[in-house]
Amino acid sequence: MTPPANGILIGYARVSTEDQDLSLQMDALAKAGVEPARIYKEKASGANEDRPAFIAAFKALRAGDTLVVWKLDRLGRNLGRLIQTIDRIKAKGAHLRVLTESIDTTTSIGVLMFHIIGAFAEFERNQGIERTKAGLAAAKARGRVGGRKRQITPDQVAELQRLTRDEAEGGEGVPVREAAKRIGISASAAYQELRRIAEEAGADDLEG
């Protein structure tokens, strides 16, 4: 059972590009009661595997603490991975509060919203499986069995996913290029494989 929210507030703010301003999120987090020194901020795409500020914020969480973000999509763009992240926050005995959505896992309504999001994530996963099967069936009908030929082995795929996944999600948070170098494949092949995995999972981009 998750401990009550009697700890500290830890903020996380992110924008996708260098020319975007963090001020709006910083002001909202401060207004919510997060001390400026406890706000972790960075400029990185939600699809970027290298997000050191987010990893640092996650590591700073202790049981009873609450991670505060401006919008849910600040935590990531892939809905499935987003649910994983929230699950890991809960596993630490910490809470999540999203300022612009009705999500606050310290309240019963917030927990309900969390489960609704989880239901949508499960729906998206099932839709992705159906699309993948349909794609393979179409490829077979055209005389191509097994779909697109992979450039890397299944073991390398698994290791690539593990290395590039955020630490908050059970990985090492290694940049894609470094992960590719470690397992002995090209960076382009690594990016292509990660895109393929996302497409087959049916992951929608929350940021559009």
Quickly list DSSP for 116-169: HHHHHHHHHHHHHHHHHHHHHHHHHHTT-SSSSPPSS-HHHHHHHHHHHS-GGG
Tokens 């903020």 sit at which residue? 11
Cα dihedral 153, 155, 157, 158 in deg (nearest 10): 170
Q: How far is CA 88 from CA 81, 170, 190, in A?
A: 11, 8, 26
What is the greatest pairwise CA distance in the chain?
A: 61
Give catalytic residues, as residue numbers: 16
Task: Give yes or no for residue 144 having a pLDDT over 70.
Answer: no
Of 45 and 55, the one with more pLDDT: 55
Query: Average pLDDT, stretch 132-141?
Result: 68
User: Is pLDDT of 101 > 50?
Assistant: yes
What is the dotted CATH code of the domain comprising 9-113? 3.40.50.1390
Tens-place pLDDT, residues 60-85: 999 999 999 998 878 876 666 777 78
Supply the pTM of this predicted model.
Answer: 0.56
Instruction: Give the mean pLDDT of the chain.
Output: 77
Query: Is residue 106 over pLDDT 60?
Result: yes
pLDDT at 13: 93
